[in-house]
Structure 1
């Protein structure tokens, strides 16, 4: 009898049966429609303008045979030049946004972004080191990914241990790891050749998808979609974890284990993103706020909407970067120029509603 009472007092967490309801599907469908519109506009715009109907024809011609052939120049621009760039921007922007939304939930802090765990700095050092050594693009991607995961391992060593405040240790460990690898990046740029290697390192660190290709898309797909898929699978548990460790443990969750699963997933996303595009900041901080203001704090909706909205945002920013001036503006510069004032406006006008909207 005592055993049965104990079981009733500490039940195992089971996901309740839920019916699909329009409140979940409508914002996801609306954001997907917005993303599709941004993609089509981005495929058309550029130094070589392609009419929208020709864009649709060029895409459709690779799926089904069409009676009217598409001009080869337009087909090459759309399919071989702009499409891989747009797919890469979608993966990077969506991954950073969904990672930021998940981190803000588990830390219960709307000011948290993927950069706080130090993986971005580690991946930056890996890429800068590969450029310093004159290695190829494959080594650049591999070095970024390896050192990004190495930063996560260092964070685990710093934050692991019994007792203490695990949340505080993770934040402080992320600051330590990020500062350490940022110092290594500074050292790398200091000893780089100022006429050849240094400009390449600086431009890469500013973030860009100008060198996008289908090979880079394949490299980015695996870690970004793997991390995103894990976060989407845990979206209901992230809802519970955002209530606090005590409530989550009372419902049968293991907060520390779940938190590290989320951190590893975000690290996969960030390492994959930095490996193919360099450091692009502010996406993982601003986009979750915009999505939360629209759909609320329910992560069953917030996470997919953040991914779609982050992808649309970075595609739009990249379109601006390659069309406004003769020389491309690095994405990291534009996202900071846009994200900082937008975030300031959000804090000023919605500080009571951004996090507490129910």
Structure 2
């Protein structure tokens, strides 16, 4: 059964990416139309009428400049959020941890909102700096007289810092003019309808770099999940690995927030689905979260942009789907950890 789940997880992205290019709020292309438009782009036919030529141009523009960047950006963001949640849950040995608990998402959201209002820095850089600031504040407040802070203290500190940054975001919204306020509100709901190739380029390098770090260190997550003393006993430097992994999580989360806004609960419940399918071994769950995380968010986005005549923000969809799904998982499987 585990082998079947692994095969499904790794094979699913290819047909789903292709199928997603056929879906849209305005019109659904048939497979024949899609293949015809792509073939005409690669090998332009001769003796075309003006009407057929215009139709080909319209289809190519919709597929290549509207749907393809959105599909790729959605997959990247889904992979980043799911992998970040999996990494934090392994590091802190707590199934209720994600990037929001440490304040990373809230800090990145405040940074991005300030950049949208003041234009003092690019949105992505501002989101990353405030995400780093949130992590530093979380560890700073959690640090006591002792060298090591307990996981509970860090989590509680992260929740407080997250609340502070959410309050700051509310202040920015309150002081913004109506036009900027509307943009911030739509952005905080999480949306991908403004996806462009520029946003794909902005998010591609930092997200891929962060996923690469998580993938390289995936076997060490198993050791870190045992505790610092156990990790040191086998020659692993837990502080160095924790720093690299938290840096990767911050980079992935802030980059996702900068281009897609706040997508709630996704990094919390998706890693649980992966673990229930293939087990808790991080050597397997990290690549599985990359594939299934991107695929599942892409599936949700397909529903959000074709469910009705108007598009529902994807952050609302993940909350509506994630909350009951997470409650079901708690009740059905008792959230057995490990």
Assess, with a 3 A threshold, how the Cα gap between structure 1 residues 166 and 58 changes in structure 2: closer, same or farther. farther
1:41 aligned to 2:12? Answer: no
Deviation at 1:169, TM superposition (A): 3.9
Aligned residues: 329
Contact 2:6 2:278 in 1 (8 A): no
1:286 aligned to 2:269? Answer: yes
Assess, with a 3 A threshold, how the Cα gap between structure 1 residues 256 and 160 changes in structure 2: closer, same or farther. farther
| Corresponding residue to 2:97 among 83, 102, 112 | 112
Matched residue of 1:116: which SS?
A: coil
Hey, what does 1:94 align to over in structure 2?
79
| Corresponding residue to 1:171 among 155, 164, 169 | 155
| Corresponding residue to 1:309 among 266, 282, 292 | 292
Matched residue of 1:92: which SS?
A: helix
Assess, with a 3 A threshold, how the Cα gap between structure 1 residues 61 and 94 changes in structure 2: closer, same or farther. farther
Equivalents in 2 of 1:146, 1:61: separation in Å? 45
5 Å-filtered alignment, 1:201-216, equals 201-216=184-199
Assess, with a 3 A threshold, how the Cα gap between structure 1 residues 143 and 216 changes in structure 2: closer, same or farther. same
Assess, with a 3 A threshold, how the Cα gap between structure 1 residues 60 and 345 changes in structure 2: closer, same or farther. farther
Equivalents in 2 of 1:266, 1:233: separation in Å? 14
Deviation at 1:80, TM superposition (A): 0.9
Deviation at 1:66, TM superposition (A): 7.1
Equivalents in 1 of 2:6, 2:204: separation in Å? 21
Equivalents in 2 of 1:58, 1:150: separation in Å? 47
Equivalents in 2 of 1:58, 1:33: separation in Å? 25
Hey, what does 2:337 align to over in structure 1?
355
5 Å-filtered alignment, 1:66-81, equals 71-81=56-66
TM-score normalised by L of structure 1:
0.85
What residue ranges of structure 1 are gaps of 5+ in the alignment? 1-21
Assess, with a 3 A threshold, how the Cα gap between structure 1 residues 340 and 229 changes in structure 2: closer, same or farther. same
| Corresponding residue to 1:84 among 63, 66, 69 | 69
Hey, what does 2:50 align to over in structure 1?
none
Hey, what does 1:191 align to over in structure 2?
175
Equivalents in 2 of 1:255, 1:143: separation in Å? 29
Deviation at 1:60, TM superposition (A): 6.2
Range moving further from structure 2, 324-333 or 164-173: 164-173
Hey, what does 2:112 align to over in structure 1?
127
Matched residue of 1:240: which SS?
A: helix
Equivalents in 1 of 2:289, 2:330: separation in Å? 18
